[in-house]
Amino acid sequence: MPIRQDDNRPSRRFGLINLLLIGFGVLLLFSNFLPNPATQVPRVPYSLFIDQVNDDNVRRAYITSDQIRYELKEAPAEGAPTVLATTPIFDMELPQRLEQHGVEFAAAPPQKPNIFTTILSWVVPPLIFILVLQFFARRSGMGGAQGALSFTKSKAKVYVPDEESRVTFADVAGVDEAKAELTEIVDFLKTPERYAAIGARIPKGVLLVGPPGTGKTLLSKAVAGEAGVPFFIISGSEFVELFVGAGAARVRDLFEEAKKKAPCIIFIDELDAIGKSRAGSMGVVGGNDEREQTLNQLLTEMDGFAAKDKPVIVLAATNQPETLDAALLRPGRFDRQVLVDRPDLSGRRTILDIYAKKVKLAEGVDLDRIAQATAGFAGADLANLVNEAALLAARAKRTTVEQGDLNEAIERVVAGLEKKSRVLQADEKKVVAYHEVGHAIVGHLMPGGSKVAKISIVPRGMSALGYTLQLPTEERFLNSKEDLEGQIATLLGGRSAEEVVFGEVTTGAANDLQRATDIAEQMVGTYGMSETLGPLAYDKQGGSRFLGGANNPRRVVSDATAQAIDREVRGLVDRAHDRALSILRHNRDLLERISQEILDKEVIEGDELRTLLAESVLPAEAELAA
Ligand code: ADP
Ligand code: MG
Ligand code: ZN
């Protein structure tokens, strides 16, 4: 799509004034350096002058406030100058002394101030000040400064999709669920009347969540392209400005512009740059005023716009959804979240197809093999891979891209990715597979109203190497003690599987353990679920302003109670661990089978997963452990 900078270019007039200012400045500077006739007269020390007066060698003197110029009766040496100058010092006796020695002397009349210099000295400094200010404003990225101090104009670029260059859903592959959800948004934008007529509220914000390079930006452009509406794009970091308050003003401008062009899309990339949880940044003294103001403005604007038939939909992207302020995720703001994950095998295959069409492939190139070898690659990595292969082929002076080029390109891209620790070695992949299947089997057998929906060993995010997705079957607000115990067991299922299969554990379970321990602590400290300790809340509530803030500190308790709490937490986790172990030992064969299956396919979900998990059996001893 053509990029059109929102254009309010600085006017010509301004260029002219700047030039004039610079001219004045230069003039002022030079007026001090203009050749001054006085400087050509040799300067001598004041004491010498007095000596010469005392020697009656001075004919006449001309005294000004900063110089005494005098003429000698005879030169001290052959050819030496007879007109000399000296700097006066405060000397009340000078007139008397000169008179005594018969020197003819006169003082300069008081200097009439030069109108021109006076004006200059009054006018130029403020002008220079303005000039400097303007320079900074310009540098802070103000494309369209309309006045000297308007550095708040929004910097958003506007894309207006035109026929040949527009991006559509056909250009994005491997993220089918995300596309399905966004199709609805396209519909809102295309026929807002239909929704308005029935009284439905069109969602205002959609948050695209996913690791870098998975096509979030591309998808949002595709939404605009499909709907044929203008598309404002701005990065969250562009709101965060040098001047406090500028970010907020910029948000206001952006929404104002967008409302004029509605229906349209505002896309805020890197939302986390402004939307970081305010609770997390508390305690930093005055550090985050600017971001907070910007965030507040964004929240206000999202609450504000309401024209039913002219929707402005805000799409935003982030790869750190967990850092976002809870206020952003409330209903009426970014209440829809769309996961844009790394593609699975078939997704990678379709993405490769898209990019392979753009280069000349040799006969018989097997893209399936490439798709298999690129687990963990995001869309951007695959695009890069095909391009690298084409470069390699061109370097070898071949006219088509061959299988070998693609293989070599994989190695290159992997080398780049490994630094970011995203690509798994074969043995690591095996551990991850068993680990995830462990979660899935235990999770399937545990109560708690959630069912395992998907197991994936496609690395995801910076830390998770695989994941097991559990979807609640119904919305739940209350969890029983049994549910929570089941959750802890499920979290420990991964580590337990590693123990059962490999007899040792890896670092992969760190996050699981963290969460399991958190739940156990809350059970004892917050929900009063421990029988020995009774229904007391040992954790203090509150303390943080926003949801999901810092951990709660413990109430003041005796040492004995503190020890009892620790013992109780430990006991809960230990029991859950035993339970997970016994379940996995009992279902050892199934664990093996599903793990092998997932090593081939990377992702198992839907009916296939359900049939596999249906075979699992809850052993009697696991029930006892509960
Ligand atoms: P993100 O915004 O998620 O970091 P981008 O949308 O900027 O990722 O993706 C960068 C580039 O990678 C895109 O311009 C596109 O060429 C390619 N790409 C990424 N994901 C996909 C995808 N799912 N399908 C096709 N191309 C993709
Ligand atoms: Mg992006
Ligand atoms: Zn795990």
Residue 510 resides in a domain:
yes
Task: State both tokens at 352.
Answer: 């490769």
Distance CA 570, CA 575 (A): 9
Look at residue 259 and tell me if it is in a domain. yes
Q: Supply the pLDDT for residue 103.
A: 85
Residue where one domain finishes, among candidates 339, 372, 406: 339
Answer whether 389's CB lies under 8 Å from 406's CB.
Answer: yes
* Ligand 1 atom 14 nearest Cα: 218
148 contacts 135 by C-beta, under 8 angstroms: no
What local confidence, expressed as pLDDT, does residue 584 receive? 95
Tell whether ligand 1 has an atom less than 6 A from the beta carbon of residue 445: no
Asked if 550 and 600 sit in the same domain, the reply is yes
Sequence-distant (≥ 6) Cβ neighbours of residue 249 within 8 angstroms: 152, 297
Asked if 432 and 550 sit in the same domain, the reply is yes
Asked if 70 contacts 114 with a C-beta cutoff of 8 angstroms, the reply is no
Asked if 182 and 172 touch (Cβ cutoff 8 Å), the reply is no
**What is the rounded distance in angstroms from the CA atom of residue 605 to the CA atom of residue 230?**
37
Helix-helix angle 481-502:559-586, to 10 degrees: 60
CA distance 325 to 545: 11
Helix axes 403-418, 379-395, angle to 10 degrees: 130
Q: Are strands 264-269 and 231-235 parallel, antiparallel or unpaired?
A: parallel
The CATH number of whichever domain residue 73 belongs to comes to 3.30.720.210
Is residue 319 domain-resident?
A: yes
Ligand 2 centroid – CA 222 distance (Å): 13
Per the CB < 8 A criterion, the answer to whether 545 and 282 are in contact is yes
Q: Relative to the CA of 317, which ligand 1 atom is closest? A: 2
Which of 270, 375, 268, 358 has the alpha carbon at shortest distance from 313? Answer: 268
Q: Do the strands 312-318 and 205-209 form a parallel or antiparallel pair, or are they unpaired?
A: parallel
Q: Which residue puts its alpha carbon closest to atom 7 of ligand 1?
A: 217
408: annotated active-site residue: no
Last residue of a domain, one of 415, 448, 475: 415
Q: Give distance in angstroms: CA of 316 to centre of ligand 3.
A: 29
321 and 219 share a domain? yes
Range of the domain at 598: 426-625
The pLDDT, as a whole number, for residue 433 is 92
- Report whether 423 contacts 385 (CB < 8 A): no
Split into its structural domains, the chain has a count of 5
Catalytic residue among 257, 436, 521, 568: 436
Look at residue 311 and tell me if it is in a domain. Answer: yes
Q: In whole angstroms, how large is the CA radius of gyration of the chain?
A: 39
User: CATH number of the domain that 498 lies in?
Assistant: 1.20.58.760
Candidates 496, 363, 346; CA nearest to 435 is 496
Q: How far is the CA of 620 from the centre of ligand 2 (A)?
A: 51
pLDDT for position 148: 36
By CB atoms closer than 10 A (0-12, 13-18, 19+), residue 65 is exposed
CATH for 377: 1.10.8.60
Q: Both ends of the chain: CA-CA distance in Å?
A: 60
Q: Is the residue at 431 inside a domain?
A: yes
- Nearest bound ligand to CA 171? 1
Q: Are residues 275 and 255 in the same domain?
A: yes
List the shell of residues around ion ligand 3, using CB closer than 5 Å: 494, 512
Do 29 and 41 fall within a single domain?
no
**8 A C-beta contact, residue 511 and residue 242:** no
The preferred substitution site among 169, 208, 218 for testing ligand 1, maximizing ligand atoms within 8 Å of CB, is: 218
CB distance 208 to ligand 1 below 6 Å: no
Helix (H), strand (E) at residue 106: strand 104-107
Residue with tokens 């959630």: 450
The pLDDT of residue 80: 78
Q: Is the domain of 248 the same as that of 170?
A: yes
- Say how many Å lie between the CA of residue 204 and the centre of ligand 1: 24
Question: Which tokens belong to 451?
Answer: 């069912």
The answer as to whether 85 is a domain residue is yes
- Indicate whether 152 belongs to any domain: no
Asked whether residue 220 falls in the same domain as residue 308, the answer is yes
Nearest alpha carbon to residue 374 among 346, 425, 410, 419: 410
**Cα 275 to Cα 298: distance, rounded to the nearest angstrom:** 9
* Separation in Å, CA 374 to CA 202, 359, 615: 39, 19, 32
How far, in Å, is the centroid of ligand 1 from the Cα of 603?
21
Of 570, 540, 565, which Cα lies nearest the Cα of 552?
A: 540
CATH code of 313's domain: 3.40.50.300
For residue 5, give both structure tokens.
């900078």
Same domain, 126 and 245: no
Half-sphere exposure of 358 (CA within 13 A, CB side): 15
Residue ranges of alpha helices (H) inside 92-215 are 94-100, 115-139, 176-190, 192-198
**What is the pLDDT at residue 8?**
42
Confidence (pLDDT) at 270 = 85
pLDDT in tens, 64-82: 878 888 888 887 777 778 8
Asked whether residue 151 is assigned to any structural domain, the reply reads no
Q: Return the amino acid letter for 358.
A: K
Indicate whether 594 and 461 sit together in one domain.
Answer: yes
Same domain, 564 and 500: yes
380 CB near ligand 1 (under 6 Å): yes
Is 299 within 8 Å of 331 (Cβ atoms)? Answer: no
End-of-domain residue from the set 293, 323, 339: 339
Pair 562, 443 in one domain? yes
- 272 and 391 in a single domain? The answer is no
Tokens at 349, concatenated:
């295959």
Q: What is the residue whose two structure tokens read 């870098």? A: 212
Q: Which parts of the chain have pLDDT scores under 50?
A: 1-13, 38, 141-151, 280-286, 461-463, 472-475, 542-550
Instruction: Say if CB 341 and CB 459 are below 8 A apart.
Output: no
Angle at 511 between CA 510 and CA 515, to 5 degrees: 120
Q: Is 227 exposed, middle or buried (0-12, 13-18, 19+ CB in 10 A)?
A: buried
Looking at residue 412, its pLDDT comes to 78
Yes or no: say if 496 and 423 are a contact pair by the CB < 8 Å rule: no
